[in-house]
């Protein structure tokens, strides 16, 4: 009986706390001039694991404040495991989670507006074009025939159609009403960039080196693809490369191959310079350069480099440590190439976005 | 008479008087019992460390899984991914691969991941289950570092025809049934056991609107055991076991793609026991298979899995040098072949040589010394040893002391996982000491055991430039204290039994100086039973202290300590109380708890059962 009373008291208390929270939320006034508390800063998404589900952290542009788990702080619910990436469209952020959910939030307040829960199967990344969202899906990561792009109606937040596509679609870039999709290969490996004509949804392929992942479009309007190469773990190790694709002809115009055994993994672009990581070091390559750089600009030391982004004169890196501790978010000054800040963020931090 | 002759004379006298004092029938039965046992390590060489056999009553009152019975009745900590799901043990602060599960004397830990999933063993197929704490690699090989769990089938001659039926039904539509049938004469014994459990397992989470989804499971096992006494000197035995189970892995979020997992294991053991004067020879041939299949999407046909087949040929020769001195040699050859989604057809052969000695210096003082050396091309094998003493200076007090070197070999996954396996791995290496004190006075017993275990070269998968690879990296020290108090009292028809056990465990990574994740500092269990004539009531208590879930021991990411209580009542019918009916309330106080982060366990739940022996 005592426990029943205890239980009831607790339930009442809980109810009280939650109703007061939600009434606070109801009273939250959004004015056009206040974008929200997570404006003017950096968002770091973390995949999560069994100890902590995926999460997003906010670090202010002045590096003066940090707040972890901003989604659950704003919504009193967890994102789930594993958070893959976040897509941004206007004032809305789409947080993509392995458990077949996309949480739709206001990117400045992180208050949830909707969740896309149907029609996804191991979603990876999301981009936007002509008022539609495009989400890469692996399906079963071992199955080479069930991969697709889900086309999301952004009004209804429902999957309105799907485009079947080759194994392991990963990141996407939209250019000239075409969707360029890198095929990292899911749990397998692949070596193509799919080009989807967004008028007709007709798909064609560009063959590149193995395991293409990160893509950017440089100032010269070339598509730069970072191909990691097959890791030795596949039993068929191949070379990594930086591959340039001419967007007027959709053909490979240049390939910069890495030395055997070097597998670059992260890439970012800023002010005519490409930044990429290989073996815990950061390299810089200007648009006009015709050979791969041989000396790194930053040696990241003994960390588990897991995410990287560059903006203005700062380079940001995440350290996933042993994948079982909260990770770090590191800030490097590109004038001195010296680390100037370290913040503890979520479990297995992976992606960096600028808000 | 010089001293030497004097000793010999005393021995002779004691041997002969010993022989005279027993009736012929007694000695015959004792002999049979020796012949019919098969886990020789447990029977001959486990007197210098802590062992505890779980009683039949405990087994009847437990749910069917090995997790449930050991969680409430030992200090082993379990990490269970929700009720009935994957369950791994931490014994004395060690990892899941450092507890060996032994079936009729044979180590059955998986060849793939080196551990046993304690929810894939149905306890109703075994006649006794014993927990042996501390190192046992000399006897049981790889993984016997924290301790070993023994699942044994016991055959008996001259028992006639006996049957036992058990059936339980409870919350979440859970069925748990078993049928055992045994028949034996003075030369022939056979028993047959079958069990099945299945559950919808769709329990509601406490203090939440959510429920356990996609958590249903079933498993069924059949075993048959036969002994035939060819003549006074030779006996043949056969043990056979088959397990088939399927679990849907419960989801954390309803949107997750539902998955399932199938296990199919078989175990066969043939043993020929020969008695030749002071020599007892046991020739064993065993064939063990394990097979799993994981379905990443239950709605699809495709799955990933692997299968391993192991053949063991073993010869155990015991030589009774004289009544108080036993020498034992064991030679075994184990060959395993494995094949699966990520393992090409791989095979390994391990030969091991053991030499064991037990000497009863007096009836109150004995020591054991044993060695093992393995020969294989797959890894550098350590020279293993075990030394122990058991001393009873007073009727009421026994002291045990032992030290040993134990190991855990790299598994097939560690060695051969396509693209990631590391064939350069060394085994994990453990040196340990243990000291135990046991007091016994009338119906009261108290034991206090302290241990210290230094484990080096622990294998961990770490990310490298191109893939995850296992390497020998961690150095962990575990140490702790275990106590158990048991009080058994009787006033006329009132029988009381109180048991309380508590373990304090430190398990520290020596590089980081942090406690291993999912190892609680404190675990305690309590049991109270009251029997009056045909009625019994009992209360079970489990306390598990908080655990860290992140390796940096971040205090924000811990699982809270929990206390779970169960109560039950039983009524016995029949002339020898051979029919029992029981009812149980589990998690009486509706504790909201998890043993793995985000894997909620059920609140209050009910079941009833009966056990008929005829």
Q: Chain A within 8 Å of B445 (Cβ-Cβ)?
A: no
For residues A124 and A138, what is the distance between their CA atoms, to the nearest angstrom? 7
Q: What is the pLDDT of residue B3?
A: 46
User: How far, in Å, CA of A153 to CA of A133, rounded?
Assistant: 7
Q: What is the pTM of this model?
A: 0.89
Any chain A CB within 8 A of the CB of B555? no
Q: Are A309 and A322 in contact (CB under 8 A)?
A: no
Span B484-538, pLDDT tens digits: 999 999 999 999 999 999 999 999 999 999 999 999 999 999 999 999 999 999 9
Cα Rg of chain B, angstroms: 24
CA distance B489 to B494: 8
Average of per-residue pLDDT across B426-446: 96
Please tell me the predicted confidence (pLDDT) of residue B27: 64
Task: Report the chain A residue with the minimal C-alpha distance to residue B300.
Answer: A140
Contact criterion met (CB < 8 Å) for B252 and A99: yes
Whether A293 shows a pLDDT value over 50: the answer reads yes
Nearest beta carbon to residue A117 from set B207, B255, B465:
B255
- Which residue did the predictor score with more confidence, B19 or A280? A280
A311: CATH: 2.130.10.10
Give chain A positions within 8 Å (CB) of B470.
none
Q: Residue A21 has what pLDDT?
A: 40
| Residue of chain B nearest A119, judged by CA positions | B255
Mean pLDDT over B105-109 rounds to 96
**Residue, of A35 and B515, whose pLDDT is higher:** B515
In angstroms and rounded to an integer, the radius of gyration of the C-alpha atoms of chain A is 21
Q: Is residue A3 part of a domain?
A: no
| A143 is a domain residue | yes
Q: How many domains does chain A have?
A: 1
For the record, the structure tokens of B353 come out as 């040589």
**% of residues, chain B, pLDDT over 90:** 86
Report the pLDDT value the prediction gives residue B418, as an integer from 0 to 100.
Answer: 83
- Please report the ipTM that was assigned to this predicted complex: 0.82
**Average pLDDT of every residue of chain B:** 92
**pLDDT at position B237 over 50:** yes
Per-residue confidence at B377, pLDDT binned at 50, 70, 90? confident
Asked if residue A23 has pLDDT above 70, the reply is no
Mean of per-residue pLDDT scores for chain A: 90
List B residues 408-427 in contact with A (Cβ-Cβ < 8 A). 418-420
Whether B53 has a pLDDT exceeding 80, the answer reads yes
Residue A142 has pLDDT above 90, yes or no: no
Tell me how close the Cα of A197 comes to any Cα of chain B, in angstroms: 30
pLDDT band at B255 (very low <50, low <70, confident <90, very high): confident
Question: Over 50: is that where the pLDDT of B232 sits?
Answer: yes
For B466, the closest of A7, A231, A322 (CB atoms) is A231
pLDDT the model gives residue A18: 41
Is pLDDT at B19 greater than 70 in this prediction? no
CB-closest option in A235, A237, A326 to B418: A235
Chain B interface disruption, residue of A277, A325, A347, most B CBs within 10 A:
A325
Rounded Cα distance between B422 and B414, Å, is 6
Residue B19 sits at the chain A interface (C-beta within 8 Å): no
Predicted confidence at residue B465, as pLDDT, reads 64
Query: DSSP class of residue B97?
Result: G
pLDDT band at B13; cut points 50, 70, 90: very low
Predicted pLDDT of residue A30: 42
Domain assignment of residue A33, yes or no = no
Give A31 or B246, the one with higher predicted confidence: B246
Residue of A nearest to B549 (CA): A51
Is residue A14 very low, low, confident or very high in pLDDT (cuts 50, 70, 90)?
Answer: very low
Chain B interface mutation, best of A2, A8, A50, A135, highest count of B Cβ atoms under 10 Å: A50
B6 has pLDDT over 70: no
Query: What whole-number percentage of chain B has pLDDT above 70?
Result: 95
Instruction: Tell me which chain A residues have a C-beta less than 8 angstroms from the C-beta of B466.
Output: 231-233, 237, 261, 263
Average pLDDT over residues B38-42: 91
Indicate whether A12 pLDDT > 80: no
DSSP element (H, E) containing B24: helix B24-36
Q: Tokens 């994102």 correspond to what residue?
A: A79
Residue B14: pLDDT band by 50, 70, 90 thresholds?
very low
Give the pLDDT confidence score for residue A108 in this predicted structure: 96
Structural domain that includes position B174: 3-613
Q: What is the mean pLDDT of residues B240-259?
A: 94
Task: Flag whether residue B208 sits within 8 Å of chain A, measured between CB atoms.
Answer: no
DSSP 8-state code for residue B110: -
> DSSP letters along B294-319, please?
EESSTTSS--EEEEEEEEEEEEEEEE
Tens-digit pLDDT profile for residues B139-197: 999 999 999 999 999 999 999 999 999 999 999 999 999 999 999 999 999 999 999 99
Interface test with A, best of B95, B465, B557 (most A CBs within 10 A): B465
Of A100, A140, A326, the CB nearest to B554: A326
> Looking at residue A77, what is its pLDDT?
92
| Per-residue tokens: A33 | 């001039």
> Chain B contact for A142, CB < 8 A?
yes
Q: In the predicted model, what is the mean pLDDT of residues A324-352?
A: 96
Q: Which of chain B's residues have a Cβ under 8 Å away from the Cβ of A141?
A: 296
pLDDT tier at B24, thresholds 50, 70, 90: low
For residue A33, the distance in angstroms to the closest alpha carbon of chain B comes to 36
Q: Which residues of A touch B295 (CB under 8 A)?
A: none
Four-CA torsion B20, B24, B26, B27, nearest 10 degrees: 80
- Does residue A246 lie in a domain region? yes
Q: What is the mean pLDDT of residues A316-331?
A: 95
Residue A207 in any domain: the answer is yes
Domain that holds residue A279: 39-354
Nearest CB neighbour to B590, from listed A3, A51, A101? A3
- The B residues from 161 to 190 touching A (CB cutoff 8 Å) are none
CB within 8 Å: A233 and B418:
yes
- Element (H or E) spanning B479, and its range? strand B468-491
Q: What is the pLDDT of residue B537?
A: 97
């Amino acid at each position: 009986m005592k426990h029943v009373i205890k239980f009831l008291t607790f339930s009442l208390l809980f109810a009280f706390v939650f109703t007061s929270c939600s009434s606070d939320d109801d009273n939250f006034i959004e004015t056009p001039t206040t974008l929200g508390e997570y404006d003017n800063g950096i968002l770091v998404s973390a995949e999560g694991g069994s100890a902590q589900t995926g999460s997003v952290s906010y670090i202010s542009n002045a590096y003066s404040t940090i707040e972890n788990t901003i989604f659950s702080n704003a919504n009193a619910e967890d994102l789930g495991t594993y958070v893959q990436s976040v897509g941004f469209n206007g004032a809305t952020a789409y947080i993509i989670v392995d458990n077949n959910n996309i949480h739709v939030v206001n990117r400045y307040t992180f208050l949830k507006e909707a969740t896309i829960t149907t029609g996804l199967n191991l979603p990876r990344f999301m981009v936007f074009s002509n008022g539609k969202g495009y989400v890469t899906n692996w399906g079963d990561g071992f199955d080479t025939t069930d991969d697709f792009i889900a086309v999301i109606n952004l009004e209804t937040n429902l999957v309105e159609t799907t485009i079947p596509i080759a194994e392991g679609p990963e990141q996407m870039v939209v250019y000239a009403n075409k969707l360029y999709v890198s095929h990292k290969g899911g749990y397998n490996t692949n070596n193509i960039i799919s080009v989807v004509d967004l008028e007709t949804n007709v798909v064609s392929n560009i063959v590149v080196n193995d395991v293409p992942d990160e893509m950017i479009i440089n100032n010269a309007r070339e598509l730069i693809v970072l191909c990691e190469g097959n890791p030795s773990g596949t039993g068929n190790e191949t070379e990594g490369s930086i591959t340039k694709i001419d967007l007027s002809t959709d053909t490979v115009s240049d390939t910069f191959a890495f030395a055997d055994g070097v597998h670059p993994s992260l890439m970012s672009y800023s002010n005519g310079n490409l930044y990429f990581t290989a073996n815990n070091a950061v390299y810089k390559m200007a648009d006009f350069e015709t050979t791969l750089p041989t000396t790194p600009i930053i040696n990241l030391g003994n960390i588990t480099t897991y995410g990287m982004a560059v903006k203005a004169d700062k380079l940001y890196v995440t350290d996933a440590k042993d994948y079982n501790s909260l990770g770090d978010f590191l800030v490097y000054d590109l004038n001195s190439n010296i680390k100037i800040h370290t913040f503890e963020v979520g479990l297995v931090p992976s992606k960096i976005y600028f808000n | 008479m010089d001293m030497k002759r004097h000793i010999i004379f005393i021995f002779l006298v004691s041997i002969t008087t010993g022989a005279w004092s027993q009736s012929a029938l007694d000695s015959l039965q004792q002999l049979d019992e020796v012949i019919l046992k098969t886990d020789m390590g447990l029977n001959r060489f486990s007197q210098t460390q802590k062992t505890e056999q779980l009683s039949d009553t405990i087994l009847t009152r437990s749910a069917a899984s090995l997790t449930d019975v050991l969680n409430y009745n030992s200090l082993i900590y379990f990490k269970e991914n929700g009720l009935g799901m994957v369950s791994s043990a931490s014994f004395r602060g060690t990892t899941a691969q450092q507890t060996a599960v032994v079936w009729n004397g044979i180590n059955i830990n998986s060849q793939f991941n080196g551990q046993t999933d304690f929810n894939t063993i149905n306890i109703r197929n075994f006649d006794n289950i014993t927990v042996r704490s501390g190192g046992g690699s000399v006897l049981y090989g790889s993984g016997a570092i924290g301790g070993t769990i023994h699942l044994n089938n016991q055959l008996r001659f001259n028992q006639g025809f006996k049957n036992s039926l058990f059936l339980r039904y409870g919350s979440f539509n859970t069925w748990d049934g078993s049928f055992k049938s045994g028949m034996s004469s003075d030369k022939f014994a056979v028993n047959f056991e079958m069990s099945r459990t299945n559950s919808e397992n769709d329990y509601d989470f406490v203090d939440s609107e959510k429920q356990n989804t996609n958590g249903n499971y079933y498993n069924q096992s059949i075993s048959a055991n036969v002994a035939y006494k060819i003549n006074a000197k030779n006996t043949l035995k056969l043990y056979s076991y088959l397990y088939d189970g399927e679990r849907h892995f419960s989801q954390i979020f309803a949107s997750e793609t539902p998955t399932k997992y199938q296990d199919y294991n078989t175990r066969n053991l043939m043993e020929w026991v020969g008695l030749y004067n002071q020599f007892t020879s046991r020739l064993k041939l065993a064939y063990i298979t394990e097979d799993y299949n994981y379905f990443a999407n239950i709605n699809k046909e495709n799955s990933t899995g692997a299968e391993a087949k192991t053949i063991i040929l073993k010869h155990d020769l015991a030589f009774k040098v004289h009544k108080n001195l036993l020498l034992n040699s064991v030679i075994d050859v184990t060959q395993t072949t494995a094949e699966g989604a990520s393992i090409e057809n791989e095979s390994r052969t391990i030969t091991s040589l053991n030499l064991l000695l037990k000497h009863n210096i007096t009836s109150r003082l004995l020591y054991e010394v044993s060695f093992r050396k393995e020969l294989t091309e797959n890894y550098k094998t350590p020279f293993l040893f075990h030394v122990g003493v058991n001393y009873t200076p007073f009727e009421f007090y026994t002291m045990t002391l032992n030290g040993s070197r134990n190991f855990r070999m790299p598994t097939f996954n560690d060695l051969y996982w396509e693209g990631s396996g590391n064939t350069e791995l060394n085994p994990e290496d453990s040196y340990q000491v243990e000291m135990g004190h046991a007091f016994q006075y009338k119906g009261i017993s108290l034991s206090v055991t302290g241990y210290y275990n230094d484990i080096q070269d622990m294998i961990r998968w770490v990310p490298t430039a191109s893939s995850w690879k296992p390497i020998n990296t961690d150095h962990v020290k575990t140490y702790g204290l275990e106590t158990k108090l048991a009080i058994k009292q009787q006033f006329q028809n009132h029988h009381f039994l109180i048991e309380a056990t508590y373990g304090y465990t430190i398990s520290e990574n020596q590089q980081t100086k942090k406690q291993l994740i999912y190892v609680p500092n404190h675990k305690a269990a309590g049991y109270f039973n009251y029997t009056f004539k045909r009625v019994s009531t009992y209360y079970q208590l489990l306390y598990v202290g908080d655990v860290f879930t992140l390796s940096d021991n971040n205090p924000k990411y811990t699982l809270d300590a929990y206390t779970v209580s169960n109560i039950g009542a039983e009524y016995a019918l029949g002339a020898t109380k051979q029919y029992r009916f029981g009812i149980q309330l589990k998690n009486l106080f509706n504790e909201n708890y998890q043993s793995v982060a985000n894997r909620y366990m059920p609140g209050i739940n009910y079941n009833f059962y009966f056990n008929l022996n005829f």
